[in-house]
């Protein structure tokens, strides 16, 4: 069943919450044996299901629906380790706000899902819980950091889930696994009780977000979460309920699109995903125009990376002291453990080895800021770029922008550090604090694989991308849908139209 179908039969009493829970628990155990997405079960789920089945009237929106949850959300009495050993044995004092809201709305959180160590990787493995595999190809990564969530949804072992996103951590796994998710504007959803190792950096902030098998599931979660209890538990969240009028509006829109941000071209399947989406939206009567986003490669490599590593990696190094380092984190941990002159040399060396000045700048930016004055100047540059991007958007009178979620499809494990540039498509909208969603629109075709023979081979990034795309036929391909701040409902409306076009 879809999430909406399941909601209907639970509301009507045709199915019992306990029977639904047992079905999903069984499926989760079966799929986890193959894919390893579970960090731990939530034993309270049985008690919650029993209580739902005694309720005959006034059923809440998510009555009896099982929900999987990313491991970084607090559950009272349980750890939220984010794959880091130093955080074992620190049970949460209470449930995260979003977990409390889900329970109040009748949902049954039933399993917690895996993340990469520190959550600062596009892979999904850590020394505590191991490696999560992609349901479409077990040699490939499901993405990160919400990789466990994407994998459990794609396997059919969950129907609704909660992820989080600071650099594409919802959208990239959705793209790799063929599921749907939304990164809201920071501040639309509470982050109280959501662990992040980068919270002291307060310019680009991670946010929670809904994930599901389809757009209706994401919409259902947003409707359920944006309730009075949410705003009461976290008064920093503006009390904006789900805007039904925006979501159901039928006015024609002006939509921008781009297939490349000017640094690393997407592979043919990812480019085609944007172009077929563009044509589908035009057939629905929207005006679709080409959009040239300003200076994304320079901004991500110089500003975003410097923000995320403002302390030079010292906070991460402290959390990781004496820990086993996961393979996906080895390059980062080696870099941040070196003195600054050595790191500057490594950046130059990487630029030479990769034949890529941008890669050198990425590594150089990870040195961070050396003074408060430098941090203030960086913050000023952030504000200037946000104005520049907004001006470019408004000059073309755009409502929405569509673009790739990532530069290529799910790669085999162990390659993302050599293909980092492919990830620049998603962090842009964390940096700008724009809501952005991802949904699957196609899969890699034989002609997409054949067209890779014409893919550029100028840098080591490009050469590695060509290699990891081998054998990718049939893998899912998503598209990213972006709106202005606080326009989550408009983003979801367009996502729904894209989904309807795909199935019509």
Give the active site residues.
70, 145, 169
Q: Using a CB cutoff of 8 Å and minimum separation of 24, what contacts does 277-282 make?
A: 277/402, 277/441, 277/479, 277/498, 277/501, 278/402, 280/497, 280/498, 280/501, 280/502, 281/255, 281/402, 281/494, 281/497, 281/498, 281/501
Locus of tokens 């959390």: 319
Q: Is the dihedral of CA 181, 185, 186, 191 positive or negative?
A: negative
Rounded to an integer, what distance in angstroms lies between the CA atom of residue 114 and that of residue 121?
A: 12
Task: Assign 269 to helix, strand or coil.
Answer: helix
Nearest to 141 by CA among 326, 402, 324: 326
**At a CB cut-off of 8 Å and minimum separation 6, what does 499 contact?**
180, 214, 215, 439
**At a CB cut-off of 8 Å and minimum separation 6, what does 231 contact?**
237, 238, 239
Task: Assign 176 to helix, strand or coil.
Answer: helix
Tokens of 58: 């006034």
Rounded to an integer, what distance in angstroms lies between the CA atom of residue 239 and that of residue 21?
A: 32
**At a CB cut-off of 8 Å and minimum separation 6, what does 323 contact?**
84, 85, 86, 117, 127
Euclidean distance between the first and final Cα of the chain, in Å? 19
**At a CB cut-off of 8 Å and minimum separation 6, what does 253 contact?**
286, 287, 399, 400, 494
């Amino acid at each position: 069943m879809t999430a909406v179908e399941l909601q209907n039969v639970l509301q009507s009493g045709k199915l019992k919450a306990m029977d639904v829970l047992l079905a999903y628990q069984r499926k989760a155990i079966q799929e986890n044996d193959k894919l390893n997405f579970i960090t731990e079960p939530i034993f309270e789920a049985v008690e919650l299901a029993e209580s739902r089945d005694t309720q005959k009237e006034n059923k809440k929106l998510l009555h009896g629906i099982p929900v999987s949850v990313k491991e970084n959300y607090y559950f009272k009495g349980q750890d939220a380790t984010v794959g880091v050993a130093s955080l074992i044995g620190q049970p949460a004092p209470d449930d995260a706000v979003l977990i409390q809201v889900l329970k109040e709305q009748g949902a049954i959180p039933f399993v917690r899902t895996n993340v990469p160590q520190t959550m600062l990787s596009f892979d999904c493995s850590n020394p505590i819980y191991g490696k999560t595999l992609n349901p479409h190809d077990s040699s490939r990564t499901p993405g990160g950091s919400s990789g466990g969530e994407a994998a459990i949804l794609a396997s059919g072992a969950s129907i609704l889930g909660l992820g989080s996103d600071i650099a594409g951590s919802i959208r990239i796994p959705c793209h790799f696994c063929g599921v749907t998710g939304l990164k809201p504007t920071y501040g639309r959803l509470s982050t109280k009780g959501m662990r992040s190792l980068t919270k002291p950096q307060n310019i680009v902030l991670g946010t929670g977000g809904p994930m599901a098998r389809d757009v209706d599931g994401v919409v259902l979660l947003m409707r359920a979460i944006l309730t009075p209890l949410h705003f009461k538990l976290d008064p920093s969240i503006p009390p904006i309920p789900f805007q039904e009028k925006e979501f159901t509006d039928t006015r024609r829109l002006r939509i921008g699109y781009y297939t490349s941000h000017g640094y690393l071209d997407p592979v043919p399947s990812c480019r085609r995903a944007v172009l077929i989406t563009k044509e589908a939206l035009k057939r629905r009567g929207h005006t679709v125009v080409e959009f040239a986003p300003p200076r994304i490669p320079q901004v991500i490599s110089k500003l975003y990376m410097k923000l995320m590593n403002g302390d030079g990696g010292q906070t991460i190094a402290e959390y990781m002291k004496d820990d086993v380092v996961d393979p996906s984190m080895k390059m980062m941990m080696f870099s941040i453990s070196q003195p600054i002159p050595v790191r500057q040399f490594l950046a130059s060396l990487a630029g030479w080895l990769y034949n890529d000045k941008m890669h050198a700048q990425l590594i150089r930016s990870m040195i961070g800021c050396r003074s408060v004055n430098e941090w203030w100047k960086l913050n000023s540059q952030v504000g200037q770029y946000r104005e520049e991007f907004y001006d470019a958007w408004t000059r073309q009178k755009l409502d929405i922008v569509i673009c790739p979620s990532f530069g290529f499809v799910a790669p085999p494990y162990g390659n993302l550090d050599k293909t980092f540039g492919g990830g620049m498509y998603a962090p842009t909208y964390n940096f700008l604090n724009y809501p952005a969603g991802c949904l699957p629109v196609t899969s890699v075709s034989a002609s997409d694989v054949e067209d890779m023979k014409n893919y550029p081979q100028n840098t080591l990034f490009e050469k590695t991308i060509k290699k990891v795309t081998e054998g990718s036929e049939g893998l899912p391909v998503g598209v990213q849908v972006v709106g202005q701040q606080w326009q989550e409902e408009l983003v979801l409306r367009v996502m729904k139209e894209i989904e309807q076009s795909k199935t019509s």
